[in-house]
Amino acid sequence: MKKLILLAVSITMIFAQQGEYVRKSVSSLESVWYKADALEDVHFDAKTFDMFMKHYIEIDRFDYNVLPSNLLENFRRESNLLTDINATSLAGVLENTVTSKIVEILNDPGVMENRGSALKDEAAFQSFAATKAKSLGLTTDELKALMNSAFIYLPYIKSATQKVEDKTLTFKMEGGIIWWQLKVDEAGNSSVVKIKEATTSGISSLDPESKNSLTGESSYARFKFGDTKWPTTPEQYAQNDAMLAFAKNLGVKTKEIDDFKLTAQIVEASGKSYGFNLGTKEGVHLDDGFHLVEYEENAAGDEVAVKAGFIRVSKTGDNRKDPNNYSYANQLLGKKVSEGTVVLEHPRLGMDVRAHLGIMSGSSILPEHTSLSLAYGGNLFAEEATTQLAGDVIISYNLAPIIGVSQTFVDLDLGFSLPLATYADEDNESASAFAMILSPYIGVSKRVGGQMFAGANLAAGVDILSLSGTATIFLVDVDYQYNIAAPGLKLGGELGFMVNPDLSITASAGYKLGIAPLSGSLTVDDVDYEINADYIEANYEDLNMGGLMINVGASYALGELPINVFGFLDPLKKY
């Protein structure tokens, strides 16, 4: 099944007053175009994809109508003949079929003469359309939608693949979105110009055999999106997971188009706190970012927009019933401004990626904790490791629009460290290994402040001492990995400085509480063996992978991410 969306915005509303956002009237046909043989035998879940597109593309700032489906016939036929699916080739086909037909209809003398009546005088328009629409092969509503057209867009899928390797199921989809704008010259003649093309991807990897430890059912038996959930196979779960990331990225790329960015004038100014007339009606959320924009005259006498600062929403106004219920924001960057200054949306995913690198001291990893006796060798370390070179990558999802508390995050923390110790000289070279510690954690964090800020975080997870290498057994080399897993807790604080709206640098300190290991495993040439709990208790009770942590790092506000992280929370945003 091949699908297409056409998005149309009232042409009389494009040229809004400076600093005033005007809602766009959007007309659509279907959600996405793809060529069936590009999906490589994947059973595409079009229903779920449509739901994600409606959530991330059909957003509050737009009003929606429907355009005539008969405009798609030639596009579908010609696009299916393409051998190379990309933005350029698809744009060429669409411009030769759909948009050329729209231009032909809109340049009809009768349509040109009566275009304004579709908006100004409904009775006059209905009288005209009763005869004209029929002659063009359209219904009255379809003709009206075309006469209000200003933008057209096409989301597409270039490829979707699914494969299983090394017990891991991976689904990946690639594609993008193309935008055109319908323009009308002084004589009333219409033309269509491509204004944006962007690509994105979505990917998901999982273990299809994974089971819920409590219920015994598949870990991927259900997919959840807000308050909605539905049964899935692991294959469908991976596909839905990648779809969500794909659609979410397209949503940000839509908001990044200048005509669609929310904008307003500041109507209240108190110090570096500002009020402006945007709110829940347009989909503004707590912690959304806006640029402060002032207009200046350049050397040529033209008025140009100059960014004067950056603000973050501290209170969202519910302007659905009361247009004077303003949103308020605090200034983080730039000079203080006054009433009349324009605020301009800075679209982001609502997620940060944070990276840290530093030292952890106070650990206790003894040589006997690195024994390779189960992997055909002696101790890996020659001495106790009390210090680790440690780092982590954290993906932080901003909970503020859900819970109403600014700068509060749930964190997915993927840590790693290298114990700093001398490796033993092995007399028996049949076994060798490399040691590192992997630390997946999940936690919460809170920040306060402006350009200079402070934060605190609390997280729980597991530390895994991993010894991996190669052993020679009866002249045959085998790969092995020896893992010892211990629960952990960590508490920390940070100081940061915002360099620009997206990038901050940080310094942090904290303490990780190392707890005695509870489990272990040995993998030899992809065959897994569980290590007896009594053996773990007897040999690793005094293993401590925690300690005092000191790090430096950076934080970046994401505009795109190919994986789905906490996406099920997106429909719950209300503040």
The domain locations on the chain are 11-107+149-215+229-257, 262-345, 351-557
User: Residue 425 has which token pair?
Assistant: 């000289």
User: Which distant-in-sequence residues (6+ apart) come within 8 Å of 511 by Cβ?
Assistant: 490, 491, 492, 546, 547, 548, 549
Residue from 83, 71, 409, 52 nearest 200 by CA: 52
- pLDDT recorded at residue 126: 62
Average pLDDT over the chain reads 85
Query: How does 408-418 read in b/e, with b if 16+ C-beta sit within 10 Å?
Result: bbbbbbebbbe
CATH: 3.30.300, 3.30.70, 2.40.10, 1.10.10. Which one for 262-345?
Answer: 2.40.10
Tell me which architecture the domain covering 351-557 has in CATH.
Beta Barrel (2.40)
β-partners of residue 290 are 311, 345
* pLDDT confidence bin for 388, thresholds 50/70/90: very high
Please report, rounded to a whole number, the percentage of residues in the chain having pLDDT higher than 70.
Answer: 83
The string of pLDDT tens digits covering residues 426-482 is: 544 444 678 999 999 999 999 999 999 999 999 999 999 998 877 666 666 778 888
Angle between helices 87-96 and 98-106 (to 10 degrees): 40
Query: How large is the average pLDDT for residues 258-274?
Result: 93
Give the pLDDT confidence of 69-87 residue by residue, as tens digits. Answer: 777 777 778 887 887 777 7
H/E run at residue 127: helix 122-135
Q: Over the stretch 87-132, which tens digit does the pLDDT of each residue have?
A: 788 878 877 887 777 777 767 676 666 655 544 555 665 666 666 6
| Cα 179 to chain centroid, rounded | 20
Cβ atoms of 140 and 123 within 8 Å: the answer is: no
Cβ pair 314, 273 in contact under 8 A = yes
Cβ count within 10 A of residue 540: 23
Q: Determine phi and psi for 80, rounding to 5 degrees.
A: -75, -10
CB 168 within 8 A of CB 66: no
pLDDT score recorded for residue 473? 62
Instruction: Determine the Cα–Cα distance for residues 567 and 556; give it in Å rounded to an integer.
Output: 18
CB 78 within 8 A of CB 85: no
| pLDDT at residue 574, as a whole number | 92
How many alpha carbons lie under 13 Å from residue 130 in its C-beta half-sphere?
A: 5
> What is the per-residue pLDDT for 412?
97
State yes or no: pLDDT of 5 exceeds 60.
no
Task: Say if residue 126 is exposed, middle or buried (CB neighbours under 10 Å; 0-12, 13-18, 19+).
Answer: middle
Query: For residue 334, which amino acid is it?
Result: G
Q: What's the first-to-final CA gap in the chain, in angstroms?
A: 38
The residue with tokens 């975080």 is: 457
Nearest-angstrom CA–CA distance, 372 and 359 = 26
**Model pLDDT, residue 127:** 64
Residue 155 is predicted with a pLDDT of 87
Helices 140-147 and 98-106 meet at what angle, rounded to 10?
90
> What is the strand order of the sheet 151-165 is part of?
33-34, 151-165, 168-184, 190-206
Residues 318 and 321: their CA atoms lie apart, in Å, by: 7
Which pLDDT tens digit goes with each residue over 164-212?
988 899 999 999 988 887 776 666 666 777 888 899 999 999 999 998 8
